[in-house]
């Protein structure tokens, strides 16, 4: 195993931006500025580390989600993170994103990237998605695919990242560190 020094993975320092100032003001007033909205428990992956059951089909309807988005907008929420399970497993996922942007939220999406084809990458760019977080568990495709238990999932994630970056959408690659991929940390970096 290659061991990296702690400084190798230290977060970059950055100045406090406008969102941080607004978030502080919101907290001072007791108002939320950021919400993570899990729109589904379902996922087509069977990741070895996942705690979700993925069996639930009792989801909110689009109209129920729109009502909640209205309530969040009325509260002054600025940043909305759409997540799941896998949010794009929903047939109305694109409509949820459109509804969120129509209400003025800065939208971030957490996804496997599996369902980000050319048209969806175009949509995310057109909507001005603030960021898309993709799950990437290893530099080695075999290790990643072994963790997701879906052959070809590494390639789908990398392809999604490239599609999004080509359109100017900010991408963050997230990895859960576990026994199965600890040897991959340097390759992931």
Kindly report the pTM of this predicted structure. 0.84
Give yes or no for residue 127 having a pLDDT over 90.
yes
The pLDDT tens digits for 100-118 are 999 999 999 999 999 999 9
Give yes or no for residue 26 having a pLDDT over 80.
no
Cα distances (Å, whole numbers) of residue 8 to 14, 60, 106, 139, 177:
17, 43, 31, 17, 16
Give yes or no for residue 12 having a pLDDT over 60.
no
**Sheet with 79-83: strands ordered across:** 34-38, 79-83, 106-111, 131-135, 171-174
The residues that bridge with 173 in the sheet, in sequence order, are: 134
The residue that leads in pLDDT, 188 or 110, is 110
What's the pLDDT at 21?
66
Element (H, E) at 35: strand 34-38
Q: What percent of the chain has pLDDT over 70?
A: 86
What's the pLDDT at 138?
95
Return the SS3 of 156. helix
Q: Distance from CA of residue 145 to its chain's centroid?
A: 19
CA–CA separation, 85 and 50 (whole Å): 10
Of 91, 76, 104, the C-alpha closest to 39 is: 91
Cα distances (Å, whole numbers) of residue 91 to 77, 99, 134:
25, 14, 19
Q: Distance from CA of residue 183 to its chain's centroid?
A: 24
CA–CA separation, 93 and 131 (whole Å): 16
């Amino acid at each position: 195993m290659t061991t990296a020094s702690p400084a190798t993975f230290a977060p970059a320092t950055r100045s406090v931006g406008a969102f941080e100032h607004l978030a502080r003001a919101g907290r001072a007033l007791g108002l939320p500025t950021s919400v993570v909205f899990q729109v589904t428990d379902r996922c087509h992956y069977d990741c070895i580390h996942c705690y979700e059951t993925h069996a639930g089909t009792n989801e909110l309807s689009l109209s129920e989600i729109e009502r909640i988005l209205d309530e969040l907008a009325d509260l002054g929420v600025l940043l909305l993170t759409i997540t799941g399970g896998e949010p794009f497993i929903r047939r109305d996922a694109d409509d949820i994103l459109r509804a969120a942007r129509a209400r003025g939220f800065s939208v971030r999406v957490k996804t496997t990237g599996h369902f980000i084809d050319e048209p969806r990458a175009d949509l995310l760019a057109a909507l001005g998605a603030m960021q898309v977080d993709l799950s990437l568990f290893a530099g080695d495709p075999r290790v990643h695919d072994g963790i997701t238990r879906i052959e070809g999932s590494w390639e789908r994630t990398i392809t999604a990242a490239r599609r999004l970056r080509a359109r100017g959408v900010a991408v963050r690659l997230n990895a859960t560190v576990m026994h199965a991929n600890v040897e991959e940390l340097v390759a992931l970096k």
